[in-house]
Amino acid sequence: MKDETLIQKTISFVQEILKEAEGGHDWFHIQRVFLNAQYLAKHENVNGLVVSLSALLHDIADSKFNNGDETIGPKTASDFLSSLELDQKAIEHVVKIIENISFKNSLEKKERFNSKELQVVQDADRLDAIGAIGIARAFNYGGFKNRALYNPEIPPAVNQTKEEYKNSEAPTLNHFYEKLLLLKNKMNTKTGLKLAEKRHQFMLSYLNQFYDEWNGDFE
């Protein structure tokens, strides 16, 4: 099967799965990550098909929407790719990327799988978690979970473990300090870092304005 056909079939599969997804983790998130990944891939020496398929399949069964089960996504992707004519090595690489892409797993201090392709897809996903879109996604998720926007009496938790991060029910503003503002320094690729810097600055100025408005600071 030609790469183009494999990608088209994967797009249709993912669109169908994500029909009812929360607004920050829907098909349009995947489309943005796919575009980001293609852009980053141009500047890195990577297998473009593995990058494209991993970007498209990386959130088909996010564990936070599946009672914490981290195995459904990789299994679903593996079953789907096995139904296409794709070599076993490429399938295994895509599955490894999906297993290792998430932020919460990066909080665990253990040896993890790594590859240039993983680095590109992870950066592509992280770029969509910051900047204007990142802010929109965070508040959408907070609303979905009925969280407060901000509560000055609940300070952000720094250096969270994976379990603490997963179980947090803190206000959405805390998520900026617990994840979003940490991403810039975790970027893997030079091109990704450059894009992240602009989005990071935008979040900092957003937060400044947020506090001014919150505190009635009118000057």
**Binding region for ligand ADP (CB under 6 A):** 24, 64, 102-104, 129, 137-138, 141-142, 168, 172, 175
Measured from the CB atom, the residue of 57 and 170 that comes closer to Ni ion is 57
Size of the site for Ni ion (CB under 5 A): 2
Region near Ni ion per CB under 5 A, out of 58-66, 108-116, 185-193, 202-210: 58-66
Rg (CA), the chain: 18
Structural contact between residues 103 and 179, judged by C-beta atoms closer than 8 angstroms: yes
117 belongs to the binding site for Ni ion (CB under 5 A) = no
Region near Ni ion per CB under 5 A, out of 78-86, 88-96, 118-126, 186-194: 118-126
State how far Cα 134 lies from the chain centre.
Answer: 10
Measured from the CB atom, the residue of 11 and 210 that comes closer to Ni ion is 11
From the list ligand ADP, Ni ion, none, partner contacted by residue 173 (C-beta under 5 to 8 A by kind): none
Measured from the CB atom, the residue of 50 and 203 that comes closer to ligand ADP is 203
- Please calculate the CA angle 142-138-150 and round it to the nearest 5 degrees: 60
Interior/surface letters 16-49, b for 16+ CB within 10 angstroms, e for the rest: ebbeebbebbbbebbbbbbebbeebbeebebbbb
Alpha carbon distance, N-terminus to C-terminus of the chain: 62
Rounded least distance, CB 101 to Ni ion, Å: 7
